[in-house]
Chain A
Amino acid sequence: MRTKVFLCECGGNISENLDLKALKKALASSGVEVLRHPFLCSPEGQAFFEARILPGEAVLVGACSPHLHGPTFKTLSKKLRVRAFHMVALREEAAWIGKEGAYQRALRLLKGALSALPYYQAPDLKEFPITKALLIIGGGIAGLSAALKASEKELPVYLVEREAFLGGKAVFLDRLYPRLECASCLVSPRLSALSHQKNIRLYTLSRVLQVGGRPGAYEVTLEERPRYVDPERCHGCGECLRVCPVNPPALTMDPPHPVPRAPVIHAARCLHFKGEGCSRCKEVCSRKAIRFEENPRLHRLKVGGIIVATGFKPYPVEKIPYYGYKRLPGVITLWDLEKAFCQKEALRGFDGGPPRKVAVVHCAGSRDRRHLSYCSEICCGLALKAGILLRERLSAEVYHFYLDLRLKSPEGEALLRRAKEEGLRFIRGQVAEISEVPLRPEDEGRLTLLAENTLQPGQKVWAVDLVVLVPGFVPEGGSEEVASLLGLCPDRFGFFSPREEKTAPVETLRKGIWIAGAASGPKDLSESVLSGEAAALEALLFLEKSAFLADTEWVDWEEERCGRCWLCVEVCPFKALRVSPKGLKVEEALCCGCGLCASACPSGALRIKPFPRQAYLQTLEALANAP
């Protein structure tokens, strides 16, 4: 078998750290042809690759991670009908992880792969039908935008939301950065468009319980908690909220533009469920929409693809004890402030009166190794906007404490100028402490705030009535659960990682699963919409294909070796193996080629074609002989 090795310089990334000339020489001495290209993934590089391969040859590519360009060269190789193809990550596994020994490491990688090459065998490609339906997890702005975009094609879209109402955090925003336009003017039309789309099925108060099947044909089980109000009948008059004797009412319809337009009954607060026989809401409802008898329901859905838009939550700033959130009156977060503005609630300072002096504390917990080591980027704009509104609506003195102002979009600076003109004050420094105990006797009855002003050396003391903490973004609760159900690997902060950060931002490593919105990192409204629509378009492209091409026939069964213990059948996590009168039968539509059966087999009767045991043993053999 003729073998060709392609070495990519990766524009210097590889060639600057590895002596490719020596590598070429060392490999050529073992009788293989070695070819080198400065950018193998470029159009010229691919043409170079194609021109030099003859059908039936074996090909080894030493370049970047197979996660990045594996598909590129694999597809080309398939087209060229090569006999065996393999790729090693010279860049990530040799050139970039240490100067000392880089050359040896690269040589070992290549030699190991070369000696295993004859044993690799490509699995067969087979077409599988695709279920023409899409599931979207998360009904925030990203999920909404994805649902709306996807619903333009006539396929069923299922939108699952954990809370009782759609819209996520965006519906509780009052004004938007940087133009201070009304948020609901942008969000609420989308909500109403959604309720008019016939092919969108909405599941509120629901969560994903189980995910089975394979890309193109997922089987999903949802659990829907009871709302106790029938949204089909209810027309949202709110009469029930007024007659509820509990304070606060056991029925809520919080968002300014609730979708669905029907309240939810919180069983934990409701007197009816406490056995006190109250049914005032039921009696007053002219539409007979109250349903105390509702129970949790399970829904089984068949979908071809899934978009994950689980979103973010603000960092729980109560974890910062010296800021006093949830302990001191008059210390609130930006999100509390937005909600208060949105619902026209009066703001109260530390002493219970209207605040005259307000501190806006940027980066509460952000860029701090003890809390969030990263910057969330969006919050500076939100904080600036909030500061201006506080000034305009309360005529309060507003002080911003910031580390660096990161104002996105060209209009950000203009807004900052406006803020300064309106008399907002900006102090560069981290707030060390917010306390009810004054440092100066005259500050009693107000909040004492200690901070360093790094532009005017020395620690300073401020007395304020209201503190608005601006927390960073962390993944929404429950995203871990979704990660484990879908087999997505989150990054170290818990955000979902895309397949490739820059060039495939909404794809995941899993086929048929996409990510949208702040679930993959802090995003503002427009970025969330953008990624939601991008994910929807990716999903549509996938779902519109006539069939999904997948690797099959991974497993080779050697009848003579098999001892009939059927351990393989027992360990298969996908239930793809079963015993038939003719022996072991593999259900190709279910098998993913994980190889658990092969490693469980005590007699070595199973072989996974693309990565057989023999390939690893040969690799190790080559490593032992390499320098």
Chain B
Amino acid sequence: MKILYYPGCSSEHLARDLYLSIETLASSLGVELEVLSDWNCCGAREIEEAPEGVGLFLAARNLALAQGEELLVACSLCFHNLKRAQDLLRKEAGFRARIAELLKEEGLELSLKTPQILPLTEFLARLDLSKFRSAGFRGLPVAVYYGCFLSRPCPTDLEALEKALSAVGYPVVPTTLKSHCCGGHLPRTDSPVIKNLCQRLIFEAHQKGATGLAVACPVCKLNLEIYGGPSFPVRYFTQYLGLALGLSPSWLGLPEEE
């Protein structure tokens, strides 16, 4: 199976481990990740400060490059930005015309139909993962955490992580705060709020009997590890899936002793 794949900037620094685990997982599942050629930043958060429309243009450019039915996106923020640009392109004729004009300068054409933006969570949940589960693997109970951008304003399947993880043998403990905010980019404002938010998320997982937390987004993971003071590991769900498939921790971006 082959799928068009948009890695996003964090693949190169902040979340090297996430992307390593995605690549390892994909190859062992027989999925060929076709990286979107000439991709650029999705606009992230920082660009919001730049002149109006720059962030959206960056996201739209990726959509113009992508040809196909679906575009797989790993990072939650990338997913949000691409989806938002796609929505605007569909609804606002004026925005669409302006972007098309700009893209013309570099010879790109904005086709009427852009691919469906597919979050990694949904993609993995729809594969039949149970047959890849390594024999004799016994998963410890984990809790899952989606964060904001997979839930709002463009909701994705909020059972996807549960489906994927239980398919490979993890007992998933039900939690109620799985789409609450982790504080996002609050660390930059030095706000005391973030500590409350993260500790509460960790507390719930712990209270419900989880021995680990599976997350999808690099920023969430960072915040939870730094401000949540977890007494158990916080890992990407792809890393959990990889372990259940019997893949070597170092290939999943985890320390060797795991």
Binding site for B on A (CB under 8 A): 321, 324, 327, 435-441
Contacts and interface: CB of A to CB of B under 8 A. Distances in A.
Output the residue of A321, A435, A437, A441 with the most chain B CB within 10 A.
A437
Contacts of A440: 196
A438 B203 contact: yes
B177 A435 contact: yes
Contact of B207 (A327, A437, A439): A437
B189 interface: no
B23 interface: no
B200 interface: yes
Interface in B143-192: 176-177
A436 B203 CA distance: 11
Nearest to A324: B176
A437 B204 contact: yes
A327 B196 CA distance: 24
Binding site secondary structure of chain B: helix
Interface string B187-209: 00000000010011001100100
Contacts of A327: 176
B177 A439 contact: no
B176 A435 contact: yes
B13 to A, nearest CB: 32
19 contacts: A321-B176, A324-B176, A327-B176, A435-B176, A435-B177, A436-B176, A437-B176, A437-B177, A437-B200, A437-B203, A437-B204, A437-B207, A438-B200, A438-B203, A439-B196, A439-B200, A440-B196, A441-B199, A441-B203
Contacts of A435: 176-177
Contacts of A436: 176
A508 B176 CA distance: 46
Contacts of A438: 200, 203
A439 B176 CA distance: 13
B207 to A, nearest CB: 7
B201 to A, nearest CB: 8
A440 B203 CA distance: 10
A605 B177 CA distance: 69
Contacts of B203: 437-438, 441
The 3 closest A-B pairs by CB, nearest first: A437-B204, A439-B200, A439-B196
B204 to A, nearest CB: 4
A477 B245 CA distance: 50
Contacts of B177: 435, 437
Contacts of B199: 441
A324 B176 CA distance: 9
Contacts of A324: 176
Contacts of A441: 199, 203
B120 to A, nearest CB: 25
A438 B176 CA distance: 12
Contacts of A439: 196, 200
A437 B199 CA distance: 10
A439 B203 CA distance: 9
A457 to B, nearest CB: 14
Given A327-B176, A441-B199, 9 more contacts: A321-B176, A435-B176, A435-B177, A436-B176, A437-B200, A437-B203, A437-B204, A439-B200, A440-B196
Contacts of A321: 176
Nearest to B196: A439
A563 B240 CA distance: 78
Nearest to B208: A437
Contacts of B200: 437-439
Interface in B197-247: 199-200, 203-204, 207
Contacts of A437: 176-177, 200, 203-204, 207
A588 to B, nearest CB: 57
A250 to B, nearest CB: 33
B184 to A, nearest CB: 16
Interface in B51-100: none
A414 B157 CA distance: 50
A327 B176 CA distance: 10
B144 to A, nearest CB: 15
Nearest to B201: A437
Contacts of B207: 437
A399 B176 CA distance: 24
Output the residue of A321, A324, A435 with the most chain B CB within 10 A.
A435
A302 B18 CA distance: 74
B73 to A, nearest CB: 27
A324 B174 CA distance: 14
B83 to A, nearest CB: 21
Nearest to B200: A439
A440 B199 CA distance: 9
A388 B249 CA distance: 61
Nearest to B205: A437
Interface string B107-133: 000000000000000000000000000
Nearest to A440: B196
A243 to B, nearest CB: 41
Contacts of B196: 439-440
Nearest to B177: A437
A109 to B, nearest CB: 35
Output the residue of A321, A438, A441 with the most chain B CB within 10 A.
A438
A547 B239 CA distance: 82
A386 to B, nearest CB: 26
A624 to B, nearest CB: 35
Nearest to B204: A437
A438 B196 CA distance: 10
A440 B207 CA distance: 14
A310 B90 CA distance: 46
A338 B74 CA distance: 51
